[in-house]
Amino acid sequence: MRRGLTLLELIIVMAILGLMIAMLLPAIHKVRMAALRTQSCNNLRQMGLAFHLLAGENDGKIDKLPEQRRMQFGRGSSSMFQKILPQLGINQDMTPNSTKEEMHEMTYPVVPAFLSPADPTINIDLHVFKDPNPRLMDRISYVANMTALEKTLLFPIQIQDGTTSTILFSEKYWINSMSYDGREPKTWMSWKMSDSAFDAANNAYSVSGRRATFADKGSWDDTPVPDGEGYSKRQINYPATFGMPPNGKAFDLMPLYTNTWCNRLQTPHPAGLPVALFDGSVRTLNPNIEERIFWSLVTPGGGEVVGDF
C-alpha cells in the first residue's frame, strides 16, 4: 500500500519549489532585459546603416539642418527620420490605384525600427484628443544628435573628431512627464511632427510634441560648450518656469517616466545607454560615464580627446 505525502512533506516540497522559482526569476528577468537591449541596438544599427545609405546615394552630401522648429534637410522638406524611410524598407509611393487603406498606411506608417521594445512609455495612451490623431502614430524611441547634424554638410569629412567618436542616434523615452509650476505636463516625440515643446508665443510649456533630437538649441536642450572642454551649458534666457534639472548627469538610467526631463536622454537598460555612432557601430555608454566624455562624444569637431567610454 502506497503512503501519501504528509502535510509536512507537502509544505517542504512547496517551499523548495518556491525557493527555486525565486532563484530563477532574477535570471529570467536579466535574460529578458538583455534581449530587449539587443533588439534596441539592432534598431539603432538599422538607422545608422540607413543614414550611410542615404549619404552614399547623395555622394556624402547631407543638407544642413536649420535651427528652426523643424529638423529637416531644407525648407519644405521632411524630417531626417522620414528621409531614411526608403532605406528602412518603408514604401510611401502612392499610385492613382492606391486604396484608402493603403494611402493611410503609407501616410502614417508604423516603423518597427523606431520603436524600442524596452521603452516603458511606447504603448501609453495619452488621451490628449477625443478622436484618434495621426500624430500619435508617429511615435519614436530614438533621437538624433542635433549638435552634430546641424554642422554636417559633407559626410564623413566634417566629422572631424572621427566617426568612431561621435554619436549619431541615441535611445530616449517616447513620453516625458515633468512637474513645474504645480503642474505635470507631458511631452512626446514624433519622427514626423516637430513642434517645439516650448510655446514661445504664450511663454508656456504645454502638452505637446517635440522633434526627435537631443543636444538641440532649438528645443532648449543642454548643449556642449564650444571650446572643446566637453561640458554642457544651458541656453541663455532659459525659461525660469522650467526649473533647473541637475547638471553632472549625462543621461537618466531607468527613470520613471513621471520623473523625466524632455531635454535629457533616458534609457530603461540597467547596463547603460545604447547609442549609434557615425561609423555605423552601436555602443552602450556606461551608466557612470563622465559628463566630459559624454559631451565630447556629442560634438563632431570639438577637438577633445574622448578616451574610454
Tell me: the pLDDT tens digits for 267-308?
Answer: 999 999 999 999 999 999 999 888 888 888 998 876 666 766
pLDDT at 11: 84
pLDDT at 201: 52
pLDDT at 237: 46
- Report if residue 68 sits inside a domain: yes
Cell triple for 167: 554619436
Alpha-carbon distance 64 to 299, whole Å?
16
Residue 225: which pLDDT band, with cuts at 50, 70 and 90?
Answer: confident
- Report if residue 303 sits inside a domain: no
pLDDT score of 245 more than 70:
no
**Which position has the higher pLDDT, 192 or 115?**
115
- Report if residue 309 sits inside a domain: no
| Portion of the chain with pLDDT greater than 70, in percent | 69
- Report if residue 210 sits inside a domain: yes
Comparing CA positions, the residue from 185, 168, 164 lying closest to residue 176 is 185
- Report if residue 113 sits inside a domain: yes
Number of structural domains, the chain? 1
pLDDT score of 221 more than 90:
no
pLDDT at 184: 62
pLDDT score of 239 more than 70:
no
- Report if residue 304 sits inside a domain: no
- Report if residue 307 sits inside a domain: no
In order of 80, 199, 240, the CA distances from 306 in angstroms are: 27, 36, 33
Alpha-carbon distance 13 to 57, whole Å?
65
Comparing CA positions, the residue from 55, 243, 229 lying closest to residue 155 is 55
Average pLDDT (173-181) is 74
Q: Give bridge partners of residue 204 from the DSSP assignment.
A: 199
pLDDT at 70: 45
Alpha-carbon distance 140 to 157, whole Å?
29
pLDDT score of 137 more than 70:
no
Strands (E), 212-290: 213-214, 223-224, 232-233, 252-253, 266-267, 273-277, 282-285
* Among 11-20, 65-74, 170-179, 223-232, the least confident range: 65-74
Q: Which helix (H) or strand (E) holds 49?
A: helix 7-57
Cα dihedral 79, 83, 87, 93 sign:
positive
Residues 216, 194: contact at Cβ < 8 Å? no
- Report if residue 2 sits inside a domain: no
Q: DSSP 3-state assignment of 6? A: coil
Expressed as residue numbers, the domain containing 98 is 8-298
Residues in the chain: 309
**Which position has the higher pLDDT, 71 or 170?**
170
Amino acid at 160: Q
Average pLDDT (149-166) is 81
The pTM of the full predicted model, rounded to 2 decimals, is: 0.80
**Which position has the higher pLDDT, 295 or 135?**
295
Q: Which of 16-20, 34-38, 77-81 has the highest mean pLDDT?
A: 34-38
**Which position has the higher pLDDT, 255 or 304?**
255
* Among 25-39, 142-156, 200-214, the least confident range: 200-214
Tell me: the pLDDT tens digits for 25-78?
Answer: 777 777 788 899 999 999 999 999 999 998 888 888 776 444 344 444 333 345
Tell me: the pLDDT tens digits for 87-125?
Answer: 998 877 777 777 777 776 777 788 999 999 999 998 887
pLDDT at 131: 42
